[in-house]
Structure 1
């Protein structure tokens, strides 16, 4: 048992389950203790369960669907933009554009919404493009790093097979790194999902999980807020699990 406290120690499946179970029990115990008494840090489990019931009766499933649809539209656009500029960054004249897009990740949310509000009148479209800007900047950064990490031997091998420059781009960078692209999208998807609640507050009439949290916070309903945080975390982890499962299913020999 003492091996679980040693760095780089390989442990069995049963030991791993015991460790996970112990941490879950510790977190639940801390939650129960911190929610006792008149002044408490967190709402009680009963308040959270009541929050779940209230949220479900108010159409929680519909709001989750609205958030997922917003997220999906933003992801599709961001992935297309990022892949387009990243793959073409192998052309010297396009590379500065890709690098500039990567540097835009330092822009604050206020600045982005200010300029987008000038260009876009529809609030729902504005929500999509705020998420697109956020994800495409981080996604481009990760994809550029992916390309720069490709060994020179792979390019040399493709050239030795009489591949032209565009064929090298297709075979080595595009086809040869599809599994890495899926992994990069999976990692950067967390940024979109994290920003979703903030972005949805731009247009509360469209609904979504952001609207529910903003509404719950307005009335200081902490039970509902914690319930929503659990829902958001659960949905985000589910998306992450599905993408990781698909990557492993379609690319079984991936080294990631």
Structure 2
């Protein structure tokens, strides 16, 4: 009874201040801590040297959940397994997700909280070597090899060209950005697809003697928090969206993003 009364008082204060949603915030949280799935990916999701979990995506998610009064835990998973556990409901949500028709079958998406672009990166100083390249198809058609990280979505064009039999030997899946950067550094591939901020963070963190430059922007997309429909209520999704929109209107969200993305 005390918890219910306190929550009603919170609603009254929030309505006056116009800072919080009209929902009873504690009531939208699951009984167990929210399980946030993540795969280490600088600068979006990672564990700092002091053991804390941070990064742009994790900071946004944790800030919203704290305002909703939800407890949460972080669960590290490879991206493919992470998506499977969201589908089954073993995880509640993850960040950094593009909206796809396949994921929309079993998942729900927040309002966008940042955007993403995927670039075809090559070694700095080699752009002239590739001539005129205005598409991934043109890049591969010239016989250049293309790296990417397994199980990530790089846009419709990549989905199409990566399935063409004539390009099978040129498309090289890798484990992560670091693996692809090493291949690029040692000239075992001509270019690879990635988020440019992720690549810059990996180069800085690992002290690589490599400089890269974009040859082509192949994809731009809104980025969302992805919820499991099996384990997350519609009420939580609505309340989560309301908090994101408040952070967007106040400028708080952009300020947080700038801390991570204006370093390069």
TM-score by length of 2: 0.28
* Bigger strand fraction: 2
Q: Highest CA radius of gyration, 1 or 2? A: 1
* Bigger helix fraction: 1
Point out which structure has higher relative CO (alpha carbons under 8 A, 6+ apart).
Answer: 2
